[in-house]
Amino acid sequence: MPDAPALRPPLLQRAMALGVQLILESMPAAEALRRQLRWAVWQADRFAAVRAQLDDRKWTERAKGLLMSARDLDEDSAFRLLRDAAMHAHLRLGEVARSVVQSAQLAEAVNLAGQQRMLSQRLVKLMAQRAAGIEAKRAKTLQDDSCARVAANLSRLPALLPAVMPAVVPAPSPVAGLAPSLTPLQVDPVIDAWRRLEPLLAGKPTPEALLAADAAADDLRAHSDALASAIAACGGGKPLHVVNLCGRQRMLSQQLAKEALLADLLPGRDPAVLLDSLDRFAAGLAELESSPLSSDAIRALLAEVGAEWLRLMRSLRDAHGREAAGGLARSSEILLDRLDLLTGHYQQSLQIILG
């Protein structure tokens, strides 16, 4: 680095930060230049190897932590699991570890994005409970908690999506002659839909307020469903569809309770939505029960969901009026709790994390 001290320190520091290996302030002889270039290439290769080792170690530590948390493993067992997976796939340990972290983040993103579907329906259901005088105080507390949960999810998602999304590829334009359009996955439409719904949840739950909130909630549900499904599709061969399906069951548990409550509060309510929710929930439950993605904990939770689903159906069939509405509201909350746990188990399944 001839005469390098003559250069200003800020310039040298910037050059170093950019990875510059040599600074030649005058042109040396050809042979000397070749020697300098060879040295620079060797140094660059050495630094790249060190960086790769550090990256592998970083990803391995993160992957071990995820496996230890998700599967209740000790550190040695988590490392052996990663090492065996790397040997089986004929990949470096660091490559497998990075894939594990990204798969776990992808599953988390599907779960988080899908939660707004459920929360949109739950919020209107709780609003309807307040209007009907069914455990109104508790319903208001749960409504406030649900609002806080939406806010927390929408704060987390924008930071999570860039870490899990592949490079955006231009989609072909459906109109000849037009340039391809970009199709990035964005949380902005979900955030905008939430901003429209949130102020409608405050105040007295009059019939007019219920109608306005329900329309805004359906918009939030649709945008959240589109985002969750798009993220799940990015998983390629990974069974993220099951995480998305179970998350959709959460939404249906709240939607059918909401529709039953609104049917009593709003004359002329179309019963087709409730009937459709019942059919879709039954079909989704059957698909989950037949899924190869399973474990002892998943099977136990599925049994609890099935039993609570039967209780909810009996509540709809055997009782009427306020008694039926109260039983339905309670069953929907129990069903939601079980389905939330079940979605978490699917999210942390080794079959998803290890791909």
Per-residue pLDDT tens over the stretch 31-49: 877 887 888 788 777 877 7
Per the CB < 8 A criterion, the answer to whether 198 and 190 are in contact is no
Assign 3-class secondary structure to the chain.
CCCHHHCCHHHHHHHHHCCCCCCCCCCCCHHHHHHHHHHHHHHHHHHHHHHHHHHHHHHHHHHHHHHHHHHCCCHHHHHHHHHHHHHHHCCCHHHHHHHHHHHHHHHHHHHHHHHHHHHHHHHHHHHHHHHHCCCHHHHHHHHHHHHHHHHHHHHHHHHHHHHHCCCCCCECCCCCCCCCECCCCCCHHHHHHHHHHHHHHCCCCCHHHHHHHHHHHHHHHHHHHHHHHHHHHCCCCCCHHHHHHHHHHHHHHHHHHHHHHHHHHCCCCCCHHHHHHHHHHHHHHHHHHCCCCCCHHHHHHHHHHHHHHHHHHHHHHHCCHHHHHHHHHHHHHHHHHHHHHHHHHHHCCHHHHCC
Domain positions in the chain are: 94-165+186-234+249-353
Using alpha carbons, list the distances in angstroms from residue 181 to 124, 137, 210.
36, 49, 38
Q: What is the pLDDT of residue 179?
A: 40
Q: What is the pLDDT of residue 67?
A: 80
Residues in the chain: 355
Cα 53–58–61 angle (5° rounding)?
125
The closest of 190, 249, 235 to 216, measured between CA atoms, is 190
Q: How far apart are CA 260 and CA 206, in angstroms?
A: 17
Q: Percentage of the chain surpassing pLDDT 90?
A: 43
Q: What angle in degrees, to the nearest 10, is found between the helix axes of 272-289 and 240-265?
A: 150
Per the CB < 8 A criterion, the answer to whether 102 and 234 are in contact is no
Count of Cβ atoms closer than 10 Å to residue 302 Cβ = 20
The closest of 247, 215, 253 to 229, measured between CA atoms, is 247
Q: How far apart are CA 290 and CA 301, in angstroms?
A: 14
Q: How confident is the model at residue 143 (pLDDT cuts 50, 70, 90)?
A: very high
- What's the mean pLDDT in 281-310? 93
Using alpha carbons, list the distances in angstroms from residue 167 to 158, 181, 184, 185.
16, 14, 9, 10
Tens digit of each residue's pLDDT (9 = 90 or more) over 103-133: 888 888 999 999 999 999 999 999 999 999 9
Cα 267–269–274 angle (5° rounding)?
140
Residue 340 has pLDDT above 50, yes or no: yes
Q: What is the pLDDT of residue 177?
A: 44
Residue 75 has pLDDT above 50, yes or no: yes
- What's the mean pLDDT in 197-226? 96
Q: How confident is the model at residue 257 (pLDDT cuts 50, 70, 90)?
A: very high
Where is pLDDT greater, at 53 or 218?
218
Per the listing, tokens 């987390």 go with 156
